[in-house]
Amino acid sequence: MTPSEFKQWGYRFVDWISNYLEHSDQYPVLSNAKPGDIRKRLPSKAPQNPEPFDAVLADLDGIIAPGLTHWNHPSFFAYFPTTGSEPGILGEMVTAALNVNGMLWRTSPAATELEEVVLDWLRELLGLPTGYKGLIFDTASMSTFHALAAARECLTDKSVRDDGLYDAPRLRLYASEQAHSSVEKSAMALGLGRRGLVHIATDAEFRMDVRALEQAIEADLRNGYRPIAVVATIGTTSTTSIDPVARIADICARFGLWLHVDAAYAGTAAIVPELRQILDGCERADSFVTNPHKWLLTPVDLSAFYCRRPDALRNAFSLTPDYLRTPEGDSVTNAMDYTLQLGRRFRAMKFWMVIRHYGVSGLQTHIREHIRLARMFASFVESDNRFELLAPVPFSTVCFRLRGGDGDTQQLIDRVNASGKVFISHTTLKGKLAARLAIGNLRSREEHVRAAWKLIAAQS
Amino acid sequence: MTPSEFKQWGYRFVDWISNYLEHSDQYPVLSNAKPGDIRKRLPSKAPQNPEPFDAVLADLDGIIAPGLTHWNHPSFFAYFPTTGSEPGILGEMVTAALNVNGMLWRTSPAATELEEVVLDWLRELLGLPTGYKGLIFDTASMSTFHALAAARECLTDKSVRDDGLYDAPRLRLYASEQAHSSVEKSAMALGLGRRGLVHIATDAEFRMDVRALEQAIEADLRNGYRPIAVVATIGTTSTTSIDPVARIADICARFGLWLHVDAAYAGTAAIVPELRQILDGCERADSFVTNPHKWLLTPVDLSAFYCRRPDALRNAFSLTPDYLRTPEGDSVTNAMDYTLQLGRRFRAMKFWMVIRHYGVSGLQTHIREHIRLARMFASFVESDNRFELLAPVPFSTVCFRLRGGDGDTQQLIDRVNASGKVFISHTTLKGKLAARLAIGNLRSREEHVRAAWKLIAAQS
């Protein structure tokens, strides 16, 4: 494809995207595809000869788009929504075109330094102190995995990187029973095992019970385990509850444990001054993760990771073969020294464009509005005595159910999702099935939330 | 940004990209930025208010682009080059706009099924048998990490996922001394430690010495270690040597070991029929990785991973919290069951567009041409008695040096790279510093390879 052909096709794709973004609600939000539907419409072998791009665009329209669940649909209220924002899409275009690999500073200085700059911007907006080293990962799962690998390396009294875990004391991690599954997956991957993670009970509002944490640590110490880290969550996945980080930090300080804060979803809300207190205590964390690709209008994937003990991270992961040694030495950050992955996309570009386009004020407005809408939806639930709320609503996610019980609530969720007009998810809270409505897509406005409630109330 | 504003800005960015791709050689290929140069030209705080996109574009031109090392420059011959191809860029635009998260089949059926389809296309082109489950990862580092985690889970006689590594026998991995650093990093991350990886000697052509492998395994068995996996490489990073996979597969079969093949760079060359034999023996591998984002015109990142024992992978990584349970059950692939990461970009899109645009014939032409150019360059080296080749040239990478020794060769590399006209990398082979020229960018043509030789010869 010549540059001028690219120009023509680029315009066509920009038109396609513009039209898609304007009319993403023309599709069912939750795909009604059956398993295999898409596969059977695609050829089983790669084309031997070049195909015209018209054919590609036709298949995008005819096969792929109808087979997707539309995360950009304004009534996508499942999981934690994301936004393919326009400036973010422009950023991804540039990233793909530049196509640099930022594994070393030298292999693209601007990629490394722009990453440092935008992560510093975000750190300051969150009210976190200086002294944190920022790194972009693809997902919060990887950010948390790296945090716990660093904790494993520096709190084991031996070199895990060299000798492995065999002779190590039995290590223990702690997180609330509401913590994200990535904590448990990290324990599995790191060789600590699922039993290496202790699930701490939560209170009536799904926050970690600090006294139970303390008791668990003390019991483990008595039994010969080696506690190494606590993962506190700001905005748990099910109910967006907020663990008492300051009190957890006290315990970590007392026992010498690594404190990692998983604020993947809710952390970015702290850019709003009146919400900054949600991060109280996080300034004492050893590491912290929040995902601009969730609520901060940045296309997937971009997870912002901060670490106050970068040497521990480096001890866990640095390994430089001859062919990657460069003359800059320690005057620069070579990202590969801190990460399991070697290859590194230029992810900072899209985030930079998002922040500049919306400005801090625009991002704040967006967060505030979603919280307002969630409270509005919660008030609808409260005002209808067929329903009940199952958890507080500190952010933009509402957990609710029909008082009738699990069967009725399941039927409600299924009917709503089968409508193709609204997509909500579910969770289980204290043994009860809950419907879960999360607001986080830029294109979700008051009318969509009101319509969702209308549909839900009518299906019940 | 409204859809119509996006259209206008999209066109401007398409124009920018088109111009950039046509004139990427206007920049020094290796950035001449000094540490901190880019950072100091950027504001230290995020903008409070929205900024016009004109300002963003101006900074892209004035600050970012000059601060990059240009992987698209036709004379980028360092590391393994990559290509921001036009159809790949179009694919990334669509991915960013759709912005789906393919963690579950249900969260975007077409993302899961298109991934399965394009990985099947590639598998067949490579001549690998059916029975491999394909998964896309970001990087080969992650693909290899997952392969070794699966081996660890199924060859340890205990549940590492549940109980960790503490009571496990001491596990051993084997790879040649030329294997990629990601093998060693995986050993570190998985809790096996660097000492859990045995580096096997290579022969005069940098291929794994199979007899030495056998002896190492036998010695480890005598000493109470538990061998679990061998990593063979097709196209090592330094010299692109090819391990004797069929003979290694025999040994793995004899000792019951997991065979993982790292063909990150060179594997895709097997789409050319006359090169298919480079994968001889790979049909017996338990897992296999090759990166379309290296030599197959797909923008970073996209690593194609194949596993013939997906249950082992699933045992190592599956963990489904209540809120992610879906009704489809085992009739579909839920990618999150096989991976450490939960979030999942729709990476298959760009690869699909690349294959359709070039067709298999176009991709084959591209691979063949780069190999022809590398052989041409090697013949230049051989015809100049100031130089010597340090390794065979089975693909598109040439390792060479000045006969004068390390000092002269280092000076040569430094001068060439400081010119801003050509970027080559280095490695160390049998204790000797080597200059390393790798061809893999779509835009690198005969004239660029000839010019590189002219510059190198003139600097010497």
pTM: 0.98
B207-217 average pLDDT score: 98
Question: How would you classify residue A349: left for phi > 0, otherwise alpha for psi between -120 and 50, otherwise beta?
Answer: alpha
pLDDT above 90 covers a percentage of chain A that reads: 94
Task: Confirm or reject contact between A420 and chain B (CB < 8 A).
Answer: no
Q: What is the pLDDT of residues B15-28, one digit of tens each?
A: 999 999 999 999 99
Q: Judge whether residue A382 has pLDDT over 90.
A: yes
What's the number of CA atoms in the CB half-sphere (13 Å) around residue A37? 18
Contact A92 B92 (CB under 8 A): yes
Tell me if A421 sits within 8 A of A450, measured CB to CB.
Answer: no
Least confident among A155-164, B220-229, B344-353, B426-435: A155-164
Q: From CA A160, how far away is CA A150, in angstroms rounded?
A: 10
Which of A9, A164, A185 faces B191 most closely, judged by CB atoms?
A164
Q: What is the pLDDT of residues B85-131, one digit of tens each?
A: 999 999 999 999 999 999 999 999 999 999 999 999 999 999 999 99
Nearest CA-CA partner of B108 in A261, A418, A71: A71
Confidence of residue A3 (pLDDT cuts 50, 70, 90): confident
Which of B6, B15, B138 faces A7 most closely, judged by CB atoms?
B15
Nearest CA-CA partner of B191 in A164, A155, A319, A156: A164
Output the pLDDT for position B326. Answer: 85
pLDDT above 70 covers a percentage of chain B that reads: 100
Give the distance, in angstroms, between the CA of residue B260 and the centroid of all CA atoms in the same chain.
15
Question: How do A76-77 and A423-429 pair as beta strands?
Answer: parallel
Q: How far is B413 from chain A (nearest CA, A)?
A: 12
**Residue where the block lists tokens 């969730």:** A294
Nearest CA-CA partner of A459 in A404, A408, A424: A408
Enumerate residues 249 to 308 of chain B having a beta carbon within 8 A of any beta carbon in chain A: 293, 299-301, 303
pLDDT above 70 covers a percentage of chain A that reads: 100
State the architecture of B1-42+58-84+359-460 in CATH terms.
Alpha-Beta Complex (3.90)
Task: Confirm or reject contact between B57 and chain A (CB < 8 A).
Answer: no
pLDDT, averaged across chain B: 96
Contact B10 A21 (CB under 8 A): no
Tell me if A431 sits within 8 A of A66, measured CB to CB.
Answer: no
CB contact set of B204 (below 8 Å; sequence gap of 6+): none
Q: From CA A390, how far away is CA A401, in angstroms rounded?
A: 7
Which residues in chain A are closer than 8 Å to B33, comparing Cβ atoms?
Answer: 109-110
Question: How do B226-233 and B171-176 pair as beta strands?
Answer: parallel
A332-359 average pLDDT score: 97
| Angle of helix A140-154 versus helix A310-317 axis, rounded to 10 | 90
Q: Judge whether residue B396 has pLDDT over 80.
A: yes
* Count of residues making up chain B: 460
Q: Judge whether residue A460 has pLDDT over 80.
A: no
**How would you class A330 by CB atoms within 10 Å of its CB: exposed for 0-12, middle for 13-18, buried for 19 or more?**
exposed
Q: What is the pLDDT of residues B356-369, one digit of tens each?
A: 999 999 999 999 99
Q: Judge whether residue A166 has pLDDT over 80.
A: yes
Task: Confirm or reject contact between A214 and chain B (CB < 8 A).
Answer: no
Contact B31 A109 (CB under 8 A): yes
Question: How do A397-402 and A387-389 pair as beta strands?
Answer: antiparallel
SS3 breakdown of chain A: % helix, strand, coil, rounded to 5?
50, 15, 35
Confidence of residue B9 (pLDDT cuts 50, 70, 90): very high
Residue A301: asked if its preceding bond is cis (omega within 30°), the reply is yes
**How would you class B273 by CB atoms within 10 Å of its CB: exposed for 0-12, middle for 13-18, buried for 19 or more?**
exposed
User: How far are the Cα atoms of A5, A17, A119, B309 from residue B90, in angstroms, in the given order?
Assistant: 12, 11, 28, 34
User: How far are the Cα atoms of A108, A366, B57, B295, B428 from residue B142, in angstroms, in the given order?
Assistant: 22, 35, 34, 18, 25
Q: Judge whether residue B460 has pLDDT over 80.
A: no
Find, in chain B, the residue whose alpha carbon is nearest to that of A179.
B321
Q: What is the pLDDT of residues B314-342, one digit of tens each?
A: 999 999 887 788 888 788 999 999 999 99
pLDDT, averaged across chain A: 96
Contact B343 A140 (CB under 8 A): yes
Q: From CA A305, how far away is CA A232, in angstroms rounded?
A: 15
* DSSP notation for A281-297: TGGG-SEEEE-HHHHSS
Q: How far is A152 from chain B (nearest CA, A)?
A: 9
Which of A86, A145, A303 faces B6 most closely, judged by CB atoms?
A86
* Count of residues making up chain A: 460
**Residue where the block lists tokens 């063909």:** B263
Angle ∠(A218,A220,A225) on CA atoms, nearest 5: 135
CB atoms within 10 A of CB A294: 27
Output the pLDDT for position B179. Answer: 98
Which residues in chain B are closer than 8 Å to A152, comparing Cβ atoms?
Answer: 191
What dihedral do alpha carbons B253, B254, B259, B261 form, nearest 10°? -90
Task: Confirm or reject contact between B62 and chain A (CB < 8 A).
Answer: no
- Please check whether the domain covering A20-44+53-84+360-460 is classified as CATH 3.40.50.300: no
Contact B427 A323 (CB under 8 A): yes
Tell me if A260 sits within 8 A of A232, measured CB to CB.
Answer: yes
Confidence of residue B79 (pLDDT cuts 50, 70, 90): very high
Task: Confirm or reject contact between A85 and chain B (CB < 8 A).
Answer: yes
Q: What is the pLDDT of residues A268-282, one digit of tens each?
A: 999 999 999 999 999
Q: From CA A270, how far away is CA A37, in angstroms rounded?
A: 42
Q: From CA B77, how far away is CA A254, in angstroms rounded?
A: 53
Output the pLDDT for position A78. Answer: 98
Contact B94 A45 (CB under 8 A): no
Phi and psi at residue A330, to the nearest 5°: -85, 5
Phi and psi at residue A61, to the nearest 5°: -70, -40
Contact B190 A186 (CB under 8 A): no
Task: Confirm or reject contact between A351 and chain B (CB < 8 A).
Answer: no
Q: How far is B15 from chain A (nearest CA, A)?
A: 6
Determine the longest span between alpha carbons in chain B, in angstroms. 71
Find, in chain B, the residue whose alpha carbon is nearest to that of A436.
B323
A71-94 average pLDDT score: 97
First CA to last CA across chain B, in angstroms?
54
CB atoms within 10 A of CB A136: 26
Q: What is the pLDDT of residues B293-308, one digit of tens each?
A: 999 999 999 999 999 9
Burial annotation B112-137 (CB, 10 A radius, 16+ → b, else e): bbbbbbbbbbbbbbbbbeeebbbbbb
What dihedral do alpha carbons B128, B131, B136, B142 form, nearest 10°? -90
- The ranges assigned to domains in chain A are 20-44+53-84+360-460, 101-345
Q: From CA A342, how far away is CA A102, in angstroms rounded?
A: 9
Output the pLDDT for position B321. Answer: 81
Output the pLDDT for position A234. Answer: 98
Task: Confirm or reject contact between A190 and chain B (CB < 8 A).
Answer: yes
Output the pLDDT for position A180. Answer: 97
Q: What is the pLDDT of residues B143-182, one digit of tens each?
A: 999 999 999 999 888 899 999 998 889 999 999 999 999 9
**Domain at A101-345, CATH class:** alpha beta
Interface ipTM > 0.95: yes
